[in-house]
């Protein structure tokens, strides 16, 4: 097992976790955030489980969310009732949200994914699929451990088609993550949909989605924060 990990190119940590980013979003002290980050960082059993699953499924060059530890810390500190995420692929962000919900003992993760099966298409040309394309024979979220799936509502389809009915069913959205390739207009439509169920203290995050998330933060008259060394940005509703 250990040999498998050391040969693996999968590393869930990319850059040092940014406790200050989480602190600004949650208004918790940096030391409280650091405690949560350390807890998940030291959970090598969980991390190895995810890394080994990715490697054994043929996922060695996968670009998953850059900040899984921060997602865990946000979930532990905010104790959300409803998390909504758009963009699952193999399920690294989902797994870290779910692990934290499991430890919270309450809350649900609602995820939406339009699976990209480019990698499984037969072609005489070298593989051209995006790094998030599913390995052949795998489904969205395939790397999420089975013990975490009880608190998981996974819906397949395009965000613009699936989000409106999901949001209608929820009383509120406490934590939102948008991690998909996007067109600006489509992302803004998705954000308008989610905006209806944000409340004071809710947190919205988007990866590499500068124009739409800036538009959203301005609409909410709140400050946007950036996760160090990455394109992940977010704001807290005041
Ligand atoms: C960057 S990956 C998500 C990575 C994931 N958050 C993680 O940490 O592993 C983006 C995912 O969004 C899917 N996707 C692309 N466009 C979408 C859309 N409009 N609605 C829902 N999912 C979409 C892609 O197929 C892919 O599975």
Give the model's pLDDT for residue 118: 66
* 192 Cα to the center of ligand 1, angstroms: 19
> Ligand 1 in contact with 64 (CB < 6 A)?
yes
Residue 182 phi, psi (nearest 5) = -145, 160
Mutate to test the pocket of ligand 1, among 113, 129, 142, 189 (most ligand atoms within 8 A of CB): 113
CA distance 204 to 217: 9
Distance CA 162, CA 146 (A): 24
Provide the pLDDT for residue 7: 45
Tell the residue nearest (CA) to atom 12 of ligand 1: 87
89 in contact with ligand 1, CB cutoff 6 A: yes
Please state the atom number of ligand 1 nearest to the C-alpha of residue 114.
22
* CA distance between the termini of the chain: 46
Q: How confident is the model at residue 127, as a pLDDT?
A: 45
Tokens of 181: 């390739």
User: What was the pLDDT predicted at 87?
Assistant: 97
CB atoms within 10 A of CB 228: 15
Strand-pairing partners, residue 226, are: 233
Nearest CA to 114 out of 180, 174, 61 is that of: 180
Q: Can you give the pLDDT at residue 122?
A: 47
CA distance 216 to 225: 13
Residue 167 Cβ inside 6 Å of ligand 1? The answer reads: no
CATH number of 11-116+134-236: 3.40.50.150
- Written as six digits, the tokens of 76 are 């532990």
Quote the CA–CA distance of 218 and 206 in Å, as a whole number.
14
- Rounded to whole angstroms, the Cα distance separating 187 from 211 reads 9
Provide the residue ranges of all domains of the chain, joining segments of one domain with +: 11-116+134-236
For ligand 1, say whether the CB of 111 is within 6 Å of any of its atoms. Answer: no
Question: What is the reported pLDDT for 169?
Answer: 98
- pLDDT (tens, 9 = 90+) of the chain, 238 residues, equals 333 344 456 667 667 899 999 999 999 999 999 999 999 999 999 999 999 999 998 887 666 788 999 999 999 999 999 999 999 999 999 999 999 999 999 999 999 999 998 654 444 444 456 788 898 889 999 999 999 999 999 999 999 999 999 999 999 999 999 999 999 999 999 999 999 999 999 999 999 999 999 999 999 999 999 999 999 999 999 9
Pair 203, 235: CB distance under 8 Å: yes
Q: Cα torsion at 56, 99, 109, 63 (round to 10°)?
A: -40
CB of 213 sitting under 6 A from ligand 1: no
The two structure tokens encoding residue 42: 């030291």
Calpha distance 109→98 (Å, rounded): 7
Output the pLDDT for position 129.
Answer: 63
* Pocket lining: 113 vs ligand 1, CB cutoff 6 Å: yes
């Amino acid at each position: 097992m250990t040999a498998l990990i050391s040969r693996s190119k999968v590393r869930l940590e990319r850059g040092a976790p940014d406790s200050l980013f989480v602190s600004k979003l949650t208004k918790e002290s940096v030391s409280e955030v650091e405690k949560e980050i350390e807890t998940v960082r030291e959970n090598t059993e969980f991390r190895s489980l995810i890394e080994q699953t990715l490697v054994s499924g043929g996922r060695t060059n996968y670009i998953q969310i850059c900040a899984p530890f921060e997602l865990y810390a946000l979930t532990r500190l905010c104790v959300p009732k409803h998390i909504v995420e758009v963009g699952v692929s193999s399920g690294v962000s989902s797994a870290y949200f779910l692990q934290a919900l499991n430890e919270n003992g309450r809350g649900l993760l609602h995820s939406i994914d339009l699976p990209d099966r480019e990698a499984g298409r037969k072609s005489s040309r070298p593989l051209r699929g995006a790094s998030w394309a599913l390995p052949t024979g795998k489904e969205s979220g395939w790397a999420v451990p089975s013990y975490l799936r009880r608190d998981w509502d996974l819906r397949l389809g395009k965000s613009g088609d699936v989000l409106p009915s999901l949001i209608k069913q929820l009383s509120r959205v406490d934590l939102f993550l948008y991690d998909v390739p996007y067109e600006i207009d489509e992302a803004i439509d998705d954000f308008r949909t989610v905006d209806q169920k944000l409340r004071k203290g809710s947190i919205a995050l988007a990866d590499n989605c500068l124009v739409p998330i800036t538009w959203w933060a301005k609409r909410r008259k709140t400050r946007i924060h950036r996760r160090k060394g990455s394109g992940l940005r977010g704001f807290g509703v005041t």
